[in-house]
Amino acid sequence: MNQWLTARIAEPAVLVTVTIVEGSGPREPGAKMLVTAAGQVDTIGGGHLEMCAVEVARAMLDGGSAARLERYALGPTLGQCCGGVVHLAFELVDPPLQNVLDSLRARRREDSWRLSAIDGPSAALLLDADGMTVAGEGEGAPAVDRKRGTHVIKDAAGRRWLADPCLAPRAHLLLFGAGHVGAAIVRMLGELPCTVTWVDEREDMFPSAIPANVTVEATDMPEALVAGAPAGASYLVMTHSHALDQRLSEAILARADVGWFGLIGSKTKRVQFERRMAARGVPKDRIDAMVCPIGLAGIANKLPAAIAASVCAQLLMVWEAQQSAALDADTPIRLASVTAIKR
């Protein structure tokens, strides 16, 4: 998850957002970085482009405008091989924008839209999935076309506004098992656009530091979490017990709306589970949908970190394919908050 979103900004900063990409560019519209006087968080990519953006941002910190929009021709101007044109929005994190970002952090699991004035007096709003204002204010702000991505629009007076979707992650993983591999996977997924429900009956197995996109569930009834999972969720089973793995596998395969299901284990374990599930009447097509062994083919290293890297790469491939397939039929996300263990 973006650190500028999950941690309150404690020093003067400028938020830089990729707004338009014409041709080839290093990052997509909506990519962001936060620039302070002494450092930066995240990246808009591009080497020379990023260096120029940091210079502009720090000049703003020294007393420049509250917001501005800059155009960069990557080839002719910056000598980069991408060759496209990138437009960047620069926003000083002043009180109106800080208010919006504070509200946005509380809505990480719901779709939101940022609307910030580029010209004229500083103004920033946060809209919900229905276009209603939930934070901030801005007189004369234009209506947002929520079917578009990050873009720049004009109001009736010709004033430019940055319209920036801050969408909840569409990818959700239920991870069963808090062992070494599970912990390594959680650490990696903590930096990726997804949410995770991490499940184990052994509360003392969970680390004290949990990524912001992860919810911990310590329960001896994990099958109930399978039943209550959102449609299209992904499942990864790697508990300390083969018997529990079996019960969870059958509960997952009983659902017709599983996005992806992976079970840790060898080919031998798969054969054993296939026989047991077939004997219990699980349909063959459902059993065939189970991914076991997990991870990318060709990676044989059994270190927990190596397994985690392989599995996370596999999940990214699955999630990107699902996102592409569902792009036209996408609906706003309003996930109910999950009760997590207080630490």
- The answer as to whether 8 is a domain residue is yes
229 and 310 co-located in one domain: yes
31 and 128 co-located in one domain: yes
Within 10 A of 294 (CB to CB), how many other CB atoms are there? Answer: 20
194 and 316 co-located in one domain: yes
Domain count, the chain: 2
Cα(178)–Cα(210) distance, rounded to whole angstroms? 12
Residue bearing the bigger pLDDT, 74 or 164? 164
**For tokens 């910190």, what's the residue?**
61
pLDDT of 75 higher than 70 = no
List Cβ neighbours of 330 (8 Å cut-off, separation of 6 or more). Answer: 170
126 and 255 co-located in one domain: no
The reported pLDDT for the residue numbered 336 is 37
Cα(42)–Cα(54) distance, rounded to whole angstroms? 12
Classify 307 as helix, strand or coil. Answer: helix
22 and 156 co-located in one domain: yes
Residue 267, domain CATH: 3.40.50.720
64 and 23 co-located in one domain: yes
3-state secondary structure 161-223: EEEEEECCCCCEEEEECCCHHHHHHHHHHCCCCCEEEEEECCHHHCCCCCCCCEEEEECCCHH
- Residues 163-201: pLDDT tens digits? 999 888 889 999 999 999 999 999 999 989 899 999 999
Range of the domain at 52: 3-166
The reported pLDDT for the residue numbered 24 is 81
- The answer as to whether 332 is a domain residue is no
141 and 215 co-located in one domain: no
| Boundary (domain end) residue, out of 131, 166, 201 | 166
Q: 248, 199 in Cβ contact below 8 A?
A: no
Cα(206)–Cα(57) distance, rounded to whole angstroms? 40
The model carries a pTM of 0.76
117 and 190 co-located in one domain: no
> Counting Cβ atoms within 10 Å, is residue 211 exposed (0-12), middle (13-18) or buried (19+)?
middle
pLDDT class for 8, splitting at 50, 70, 90?
A: low
pLDDT of 76 higher than 70 = no
